[in-house]
Amino acid sequence: MEAARSFGRLLAQRGIGVVYGGSSVGLMAALADTMMDELGDVIGVIPRMLVEREVANTTLSDLRIVATMHERKALMAELSDGFVALPGGVGTLEEFFEIWTWGQLGMHTKPCGLLNVRGYFDPLLEFLDHAVEEKFVRDVHRAMVIVESDPEQLLSRFEAYEPPRVVKWINAGTI
């Protein structure tokens, strides 16, 4: 929780706004609340069904309610200049993998990163390296995932990000 709050303070100090899922629970809510305390810009995007379950962060000055989860992700992607996942569960992983896939397919050229708090993502990173070894993921696409435990380093790498200039598909004849 403290890592999320610290990252929120850093983003607000740097004038970097945040687009997130609009919830009032979890690490991203803590980050958003901290950013608002620091007068940072925060946009929440939440599907109506979650508003009806009373998990919307109603303190946001910009809370956008959409019909579906698909609309939520599309709008968040459109409004964002980069994507960072903090430790989380299935929804966090699903959203991160989808946006990374979109980058891999060339649908966007924005950086995708993991804030690896206390090594949370280490087992996932080992699996991704295994996928490269097994030739299901190219090295260049694996390298698209920027991983840092230090938020300052993560932002520095985002600023220097250059998207790969290769197609996604691995030639079946090379396996």
pLDDT interval class at 170 (50, 70, 90): low
50 phi/psi in degrees, rounded to 5: -80, -30
Classify strands 112-115 and 145-148 as parallel, antiparallel or unpaired. parallel
Domain with CATH 3.40.50.450 in the chain: 1-80, 81-157
User: Which pLDDT score, from 0 to 100, does residue 32 have?
Assistant: 97
User: Which pLDDT score, from 0 to 100, does residue 167 have?
Assistant: 63
Cα 72 to Cα 152: distance, rounded to the nearest angstrom = 28
- 3-class secondary-structure state, position 160: coil
User: Which pLDDT score, from 0 to 100, does residue 175 have?
Assistant: 41
User: Which pLDDT score, from 0 to 100, does residue 93 have?
Assistant: 97
Mean pLDDT of the chain: 94
What count of other Cβ atoms lies within 10 Å of the Cβ of residue 63? 16
pLDDT interval class at 85 (50, 70, 90): very high
Is pLDDT of 135 > 90?
Answer: yes
User: Which pLDDT score, from 0 to 100, does residue 165 have?
Assistant: 84
The class of domain 1-80 in CATH terms is alpha beta
pLDDT interval class at 4 (50, 70, 90): very high
User: Which pLDDT score, from 0 to 100, does residue 23 have?
Assistant: 95
Residue that has been written with the tokens 């090594």 in this structure? 119
What is 81-157's CATH number, 3.90.78.10, 3.40.50.450, 3.50.50.60, 3.40.630.30? 3.40.50.450
pLDDT single digits (tens) 100-116: 999 999 999 999 999 99
Sign of CA dihedral 46, 52, 53, 58: positive
**What would the mean pLDDT of 94-98 be, rounded to a whole number?**
97
Residue that has been written with the tokens 């599907």 in this structure? 47
Is pLDDT of 171 > 70?
Answer: no
92-101, 147-156, 166-175: least confident range: 166-175
